[in-house]
Amino acid sequence: MKMPLSGLTICLVFALLVACAPAATLTVAKGAGTGKESLSLADLQSSGEWGQLFALTLKGDLERSGWFVVGTGKYETLRVSGAAQGGPGGLRTQIEVVWPGGRFAWAEVSRDPREVRWQAHRLNDEIIRRVLGKTGMAATRLAMIGKHDGSDIYLCDSDGTGLVRLTQDRVTCLSPYWHPTGSHLFYTTFLRGFPCIYRVPTAGGSRTPLAQFTGLNTGGAVSPDQKLMALILSLPGNPELYILNLETRRLTRLTQTPRAAEASPCWSPDGQSIAYVSDASGSPQIYVMDAQTKRPRRLTMQGRENVAPTWGPDGRIAFSTRQNGYQIAVIDPATGAGTVLTSGPDHEDPSWAPDGRHIICSRSEGRGRSTLLVLDTEDRTQVPLFTRDGHWVSPEWSTRLAK
C-alpha cells in the first residue's frame, strides 16, 4: 500500500519537508442516510454448529455491506430462505434468494470452518451482485502491519476473523501491496539492513527479493495487468518514482525532481495512470502521472500535507490529509472536488475495498497504539475491524477473492 508519513518513513522520504501551505478547505461531510433494502433471513433454517456459523456470518456480512437492513420477516421484499445444515460431513446449503426483480438458487458443501465462512462471504457478494448490480467486499482479505516483536505482515478476512501472521521478519517492515490476483503480497523490509522490496505468497512460503538496489527501495504497487510495478528508488540520490517491468526487469524512471522526494505510488483502475506523493511544491502533495507520457499533474492544491493515496474502483482517490490531525479524505481526480470523511484522532493509511464504498484505515489510540477501522463512505459510520490489542497500521484491502 502506502509508506506512512511518520517515524522512520519521514526520515527516509521527507527529511527535508517544509510545511508551508494554507489550511485545507475541503468540504467536511456530516453524513446522510442513503436508503437501504429490507431483507429477511427469517426463513433460513440453520442446524448444527456450522449451520449457525454460516447464518451468523451471512447476517454480519449483509449488515456490514451498508446496503441492507435485516428485519423480522414481516415486511421485507428481499427474502433468503432454505437450509444450512451442519453435520459430521461438514455444511450443506440449499438456499433460494427471492426479490421483486428475480430469484436465484444457491447450493454448496463446505468441509471445514474456514470454508463455512467463505461460503457465506461468497453468497453475500452474489446477493449484492444479483439484486443491486454492485460489487461486494465480503469475499476478500486484508493485509496489515502488526507491531509486536518487531513489525510483521498479518492477514485476516474482511470481517476481521481468521487473523494469521504471514511474515516472521521481526524487523521494520512497511507498505504492504496486494498482487492483483491475491496470490502474493509485496512489502518493504529491513531484513538486509536497508529497505528492500520482497514478495511473499499469501498462502505462506519463502519470500523472494524483488528490488534491492542501492539505497531506498519501497512502494511495490503492481499494475492491474500484472506486468509492471511502480516503486520508489533512490538510485540518483533522492527518492524518485520508477516503473519496473516484472518480466524483463527493465527500470524506467518517471520523475526528475533532484530537490524533492516521491513516495506512495498506486495505480488507477485502468492501469493508465499512477498517483503518488511528492514534496516538489514544498510540502507533500498528491500528483497523478500518465504512465505513457510521464507528464505529472498536481491533484491536491490545499492542505499542509496530503499523503498516502489509494485509487478506488470507481475512480475516486482516498488519502490522508493533515487537518486537525490526519484525516481521511476522498477526491475526484477529474474535477478536483474533495471531501473530508473523518474527524478526531489521527486517521491514516486508507485503502479502498473492492466495492468502492468502504475504506479501511488506521486510527491513533494514543500511547503509541493504533487500531483499524472500516469506514463507510456513504453513511460515514466507522466500525472496528477487530478488537485485538496492539499497534496495527498500513492496512491494505485485496482487490478480489484471495483465500
Question: Parallel, antiparallel, or unpaired: how do β-strands 296-298 and 285-290 relate?
Answer: antiparallel
Q: Find the CATH number of the domain harbouring 245.
A: 2.120.10.30
Section 157-174 average pLDDT: 94
Put simply, whether the predicted model's pTM sits higher than 0.85 gets the answer yes
Q: Are residues 173 and 217 in the same domain?
A: yes
pLDDT greater at residue 4 or residue 281:
281
Q: Which string of DSSP letters, residue by residue, matches 318-347?
A: EEEEESSSEEEEEE-TTT--EEE---SS-E
Residue 304 has pLDDT above 50, yes or no: yes
pLDDT greater at residue 38 or residue 11:
38
Q: Are residues 242 and 325 in the same domain?
A: yes
First to last CA, the chain: 19
Q: Are residues 213 and 85 in the same domain?
A: no
Question: Parallel, antiparallel, or unpaired: how do β-strands 37-40 and 68-71 relate?
Answer: parallel
What pLDDT is stored for residue 149 in this prediction? 74
User: Which residues are paired to 66 by β-bridges?
Assistant: none
Which of 16-20, 27-31, 163-167, 331-335 bottoms out in mean pLDDT, i.e. has the lowest? 16-20
Q: Are residues 106 and 191 in the same domain?
A: no
What pLDDT is stored for residue 401 in this prediction? 63
Which of 68-72, 251-255, 261-265 bottoms out in mean pLDDT, i.e. has the lowest? 68-72
Give the H or E element holding residue 57.
helix 48-64
> What residues make up the domain containing 105?
37-132
pLDDT greater at residue 32 or residue 278:
278
Domain membership flag for residue 257: yes
Q: Are residues 292 and 385 in the same domain?
A: yes
User: Which residues are paired to 376 by β-bridges?
Assistant: 358
Give per-residue pLDDT as tens, 321-340: 999 899 999 999 999 999 99
Residue 23 has pLDDT above 70, yes or no: no
Contact status, residue 47 vs residue 84, Cβ threshold 8 Å: yes
User: Which residues are paired to 119 by β-bridges?
Assistant: none
Residue 8 has pLDDT above 60, yes or no: no
Domain membership flag for residue 18: yes
Overall residue count recorded for the chain in this entry: 403
Q: Are residues 175 and 273 in the same domain?
A: yes
What pLDDT is stored for residue 73 in this prediction? 74
Q: Where a domain ends, among 132, 149, 176?
A: 132
Give per-residue pLDDT as tens, 187-201: 999 998 999 999 999
For residues 243 and 231, give the distance between their C-alpha atoms in angstroms, rounded to a whole number. 6
What pLDDT is stored for residue 3 in this prediction? 46
Domain membership flag for residue 3: no
What pLDDT is stored for residue 399 in this prediction? 83
Model confidence at 12, in pLDDT bands (50, 70, 90)? Answer: very low
198: Cβ–Cβ under 8 A, 6 or more apart, which residues?
186, 187, 188, 189, 191, 207, 208, 209, 210
Residue 403 has pLDDT above 90, yes or no: no
Q: Where a domain ends, among 77, 107, 132?
A: 132
Q: Are residues 151 and 231 in the same domain?
A: yes
Domain membership flag for residue 2: no
